[in-house]
């Protein structure tokens, strides 16, 4: 198991360097001068422009700029925001709990509905229930996030008035944001109605963000279950009179979980990517909206640091998924 873990850890090094290069190049490929954007409508004299270029290192050759950035990253320094003058680390971890809370709820929503849907579809292969569930999953996977979000807002916020349009909690409630997780902090505050308000604000973003992973998990679960249900040991279990619930829920599902776990791990990247649109539409104060605002402001350190931190988190999740392979199927550890 140790050798297996070390081999996976070694892949971090080239991936990490590649991500730093991509994040560094991405923001510089966008049109617009960060110094001019910072100046706004005030304008800059040539002397002041040259002074700011020297201050932020833009007067150096591009390879030197990348080397300074990479050196700072390896030392744990992601830089300071051009706009807020705060360290990127501080801004990221101030806003990240909001994104993490939304992503966790979306993943729970996707797994809680996707796994049973896939299992039911596999057990009822070719029947009406199978076709209905997989058709619904295909529709859910095909819908653009922005269109789905706006549709839900029109129906549930505009027409029915059941859910708020934006934010994390009503302005009526104020309490210390100790953990950054609004559901936890609202309960800890002891204020009547605070938790309900937090849930109502979280409901639509969770559904929007979790719809695509739900569809992918359902379809992958069905495919993996169908493959396993055709194995000899499943037929043997049926011949011995074992109950369908035990066959499907224990023997078949456990062996079908490896590809499903892979999809769940890959869905983390999908959640973080989808969070950018979801947070922007619902004015959710997380890293997605923070990144979008920083791109428009050409805030190089924020965009570079944010992309790098998100990528590292996805890498860690993928490593965790690889470790789970070894737990579920011991044969994989020996490869």
Q: pLDDT tens across 90-121, in order?
A: 888 888 888 889 989 999 999 999 989 988 88
Give the domain CATH number at 150: 1.10.3720.10
Q: pLDDT tens across 251-265, in order?
A: 677 777 778 887 887
- What proportion of the chain, given as a percentage, has pLDDT over 90? 10
pLDDT for res 4: 61
pLDDT for res 202: 92
Asked if 332 and 276 touch (Cβ cutoff 8 Å), the reply is: no
What are residue 80's DSSP bridge partners? Answer: 87
Q: Is the pLDDT of residue 237 over 60?
A: yes
Asked if 171 and 198 touch (Cβ cutoff 8 Å), the reply is: no
DSSP states along 277-300: HHHHHTT--SHHHHHHHHHHTT-H
Is 88 contained in some domain? Answer: no
Q: Is the pLDDT of residue 139 over 70?
A: yes
Average of per-residue pLDDT values in the chain:
81
CA 140 → CA 78, 106, 133, 134, 323, distances in Å?
Answer: 37, 14, 10, 10, 30
Sequence-ordered list of residues with C-beta below 8 angstroms from that of 16, at least 6 positions apart, any chain: 312, 315
Is 267 contained in some domain? Answer: yes
- pLDDT class of 13 with cuts at 50, 70, 90: confident
3-class DSSP state of 80: strand
Is 189 contained in some domain? Answer: yes
CA 267 to chain centre: 7
How crowded is residue 164: how many other Cβ atoms within 10 Å of its Cβ? 20
pLDDT for res 153: 92
Same domain, 304 and 271: no
Same domain, 62 and 194: no
Same domain, 105 and 55: no
* 72-84 per-residue burial string, b: 16 or more CB within 10 A, e: under 16: ebeeeebbbbbbe
- pLDDT class of 318 with cuts at 50, 70, 90: confident
Q: Report d(CA 90, CA 251) in Å as an integer.
A: 47
Is 29 contained in some domain? Answer: yes
Same domain, 238 and 307: no
Asked if 226 and 122 touch (Cβ cutoff 8 Å), the reply is: yes
Q: Report d(CA 26, CA 24) in Å as an integer.
A: 6
Q: pLDDT tens across 47-66, in order?
A: 777 877 787 777 788 888 88
Is 215 contained in some domain? Answer: yes
Asked if 66 and 26 touch (Cβ cutoff 8 Å), the reply is: no
Q: Is the pLDDT of residue 297 over 60?
A: yes
Q: Report d(CA 229, CA 119) in Å as an integer.
A: 11
- What proportion of the chain, given as a percentage, has pLDDT over 70? 90
Mean pLDDT of all residues in 288-294: 85
Asked if 217 and 115 touch (Cβ cutoff 8 Å), the reply is: yes
* Domain count for the chain: 2
Asked if 34 and 298 touch (Cβ cutoff 8 Å), the reply is: yes
- pLDDT class of 132 with cuts at 50, 70, 90: very high
Length of the chain: 335
Same domain, 129 and 12: no
pTM of the model: 0.79
**309: its two tokens:** 């931190």
Same domain, 33 and 135: no
CA 207 to chain centre: 14
Nearest to 217 by CA among 251, 253, 148, 267: 267
Is 111 contained in some domain? Answer: yes
Mean pLDDT of all residues in 176-202: 87
Alpha helix ranges (H) inside 143-252:
145-152, 182-189, 194-229, 232-239, 244-246
Same domain, 234 and 247: yes
- pLDDT class of 158 with cuts at 50, 70, 90: confident
Q: Report d(CA 197, CA 183) in Å as an integer.
A: 9
Same domain, 227 and 78: no
The boundaries of the domain holding residue 49 are 1-83+297-327+331-335
Is 236 contained in some domain? Answer: yes
Q: Report d(CA 143, CA 208) in Å as an integer.
A: 10
Q: Is the pLDDT of residue 335 over 60?
A: no
3-class DSSP state of 87: strand
pLDDT for res 112: 93
Same domain, 9 and 132: no
**Burial status of residue 334 (CB atoms within 10 A of its CB: 0-12, 13-18, 19 or more):** exposed
- pLDDT class of 268 with cuts at 50, 70, 90: confident
């Amino acid at each position: 198991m140790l050798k297996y873990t070390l081999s996976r850890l070694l892949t971090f090094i080239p991936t990490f360097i590649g991500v730093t290069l991509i994040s560094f190049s991405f923001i510089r490929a966008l049109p617009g001068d960060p110094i001019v954007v910072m100046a706004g409508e005030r304008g800059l004299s040539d002397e002041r422009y040259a002074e700011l270029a020297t201050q932020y290192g833009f007067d150096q050759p591009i390879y030197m700029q990348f080397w300074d950035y990479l050196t700072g990253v390896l030392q744990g320094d992601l830089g300071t925001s051009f706009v807020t003058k705060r360290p990127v680390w501080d801004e990221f971890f101030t806003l990240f709990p909001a994104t993490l809370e939304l992503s966790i709820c979306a993943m729970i929503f996707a797994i809680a509905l996707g796994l049973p849907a896939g299992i039911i579809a596999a057990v009822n292969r070719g029947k009406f229930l199978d076709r209905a569930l997989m058709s619904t999953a295909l529709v859910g996977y095909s819908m653009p996030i922005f269109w789905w979000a706006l549709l839900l807002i029109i129906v549930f916020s505009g027409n029915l008035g059941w859910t708020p349009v934006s934010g994390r909690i009503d302005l009526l409630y104020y309490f210390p944001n100790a953990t950054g997780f609004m559901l936890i902090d609202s309960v800890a505050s002891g204020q009547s109605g605070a938790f309900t308000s937090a849930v109502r604000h979280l409901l639509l973003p969770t559904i929007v963000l979790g719809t695509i992973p739900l569809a992918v998990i359902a379809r992958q679960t069905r495919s993996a279950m169908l493959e396993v249900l055709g194995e000899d040991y499943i037929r043997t279990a049926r011949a011995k009179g074992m109950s369908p619930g035990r066959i499907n829920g224990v023997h078949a599902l456990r062996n079908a979980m490896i590809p499903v776990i892979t999809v769940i791990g890959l869905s983390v990247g999908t959640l973080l990517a989808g969070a950018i649109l979801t947070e922007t539409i619902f004015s959710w104060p997380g890293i997605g909206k923070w990144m979008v605002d920083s791109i428009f402001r050409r805030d190089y350190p924020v965009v570079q640091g944010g992309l790098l931190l998100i990528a590292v988190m996805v890498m860690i999740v993928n490593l965790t998924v690889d470790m789970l392979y070894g737990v579920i199927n011991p044969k994989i550890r020996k490869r």
